[in-house]
Amino acid sequence: MEFNHFSVLLEETITGLKVKPEGIYVDGTLGGGGHAYQVCKRLTTGRFIGIDQDEDAIRAAGRRLEEFSPKVTIIRSNYCRMKEVLKEAGVEAVDGIVLDLGVSSFQLDTVERGFSYRFDTKLDMRMDNRQSLTAREIVNEYSEKELYRIIRDYGEDQFAKNIAKHMVKAREIQPIETTFQLNEIIKAAIPAKMRKTGGHPSKKTFQAIRIECNHELEVLRDTLEDMIELLNPGGRLCIITFHSLEDRLVKNAFNKAENPCICPSHFPVCVCGNKPKGKVVTRKPILPSEKELGENSRSKSAKLRVFEKEAGR
């Protein structure tokens, strides 16, 4: 199966990066290499480093970027190790970083990966098949309280409590092994009249389990500061999110980097000594155009935010 993935907000991201032909650029979520291809096309003497934890993505991006091979380095890792990975590649600072935090169309459409509620397969959802934690373990071993928390926070599902209760009840009879088994449990936990609106009843719970399985929010939260530090003066960080909690983390980190002062508001001058690291380029997030929404419904919740490192820092 070919690694297909619509690169969400592609033009907007490339514009936001302000690619310099001689610059060094990193894509921390390489995927099929859609954003990467557009960056590489604009490089002359520059360099591109692609990072992804998914071995299918690494293979697919390698093929896609083959024509640019002398200036391209592809590394299988999680972007939370970006600092170390770049150091190992002999890079201290870069001119631009891209993160596209969405799950790829390929991952959703590859049945055995267990990301989608549309196919009956084993519960998995690992973006990196080298890790031990799977969706199956989360569903069968997490406490009811923990399941409720992740479905409420990561899935933003109003029926989180009931879904968690149903999951625990069902696994007392037999382990929950497959996506369709889980579908039936979720369906039973949501009132029939509510199932008629708002899309597939499993959508939010599957999203929540995937985020938990891959520690997506912790990885993002713990890496944002590092990525800003890695930028050269005038370098830009472009992040595409698909979930309100991701977007909030990015927004807050960018605002803090622009206004790091922690002095009480009544102080006449700043005495904490914290200096701005740069500026937020996007006061409001950039959203997909009507055209893009028509071509790719999966871009619906995408938001792009851009930060620029201060010149001379």
HSE, side-chain direction, 13 A CA sphere, residue 107? 22
pLDDT of residue 297: 81
Residue 38 has pLDDT above 90, yes or no: yes
What is the dihedral angle through the alpha carbons of 101, 104, 108, 111, rounded to the nearest 10 degrees?
Answer: -130
Give all domains of the chain, ordered by start, each with its CATH number: 10-106+216-309 (3.40.50.150), 129-213 (1.10.150.170)
In percent, the amount of the chain with pLDDT more than 70 equals 97
How many C-beta neighbours within 10 Å does residue 30 have?
31
Closest C-alpha to 217, from 178, 189, 243, 182: 243
Closest to 163 (Cα-Cα) out of 194, 129, 120, 131: 194
What pLDDT, on the 0 to 100 scale, is given for residue 102?
Answer: 76
As a whole-number percent, the residues of the chain with pLDDT over 90 amount to 84
Name 188's Cβ contacts closer than 8 Å, sequence gap at least 6.
166
pLDDT at residue number 185: 98
Between 54-63, 105-114, 218-227, the lowest mean confidence (pLDDT) is in 105-114
User: pLDDT of 15-27, one tens digit each?
Assistant: 999 999 999 999 9
pLDDT of 42 over the 60 cut: yes
Sole residue written with tokens 């977007």: 247
Lookup result for tokens 């969706």: 135
Q: Are 73 and 48 in contact (CB under 8 A)?
A: yes
What's the confidence (pLDDT) of residue 3?
A: 46
| Gyration radius of the chain's alpha carbons | 21
Q: What is the pLDDT of residues 94-112, one digit of tens each?
A: 999 999 997 877 787 788 8
Residue 5 has a pLDDT of 52
Confidence of residue 208 (pLDDT cuts 50, 70, 90): very high
Question: Using 50, 70 and 90 to split pLDDT, how confident is the model at 44?
Answer: very high
| Confidence bin at 192 (pLDDT 50/70/90) | confident
Are 21 and 312 spatial neighbours (Cβ–Cβ below 8 Å)?
A: no
Residue 159: Cβ-neighbour burial (10 angstroms; 0-12, 13-18, 19+) = buried
Mean residue pLDDT of the chain comes to 93
- The token pair at 160 is 């989180």
Read off the tokens for 88. 């190992």
Rounded to an integer, what distance in angstroms lies between the CA atom of residue 29 and that of residue 17?
A: 15
Model pLDDT, residue 114:
85
Higher pLDDT, 115 or 138: 138
State residue 1's pLDDT score: 43
Whole-number Å distance between alpha carbons of 87 and 17: 22
- Kindly give, in sequence order, each residue whose CB lies less than 8 Å from that of residue 61, ignoring residues fewer than 6 positions away: 3, 30, 31, 32, 33, 36, 50, 52, 74
- For 226-240, the pLDDT digits (tens) are 999 999 999 999 999
**pLDDT confidence of 312, banded at 50, 70, 90?**
low
Cα–Cα distance measured from residue 307 to residue 67, given in angstroms and rounded to the nearest whole number = 30
The mean per-residue pLDDT over the stretch 258-271 comes to 91
Residue 105 CA to residue 103 CA, distance in Å, equals: 7
- 139 has pLDDT over 70: yes
Rounded to an integer, the average pLDDT of 71-95 is: 97
pLDDT over 70 at 275, yes or no = yes
| Amino acid at the residue 279 | K
Q: Are strands 231-241 and 47-52 parallel, antiparallel or unpaired?
A: unpaired
Amino acid residing at 85: V
Q: Residue 224 is which amino acid?
A: L
Query: 6 falls in which pLDDT band (50, 70, 90)?
Result: low
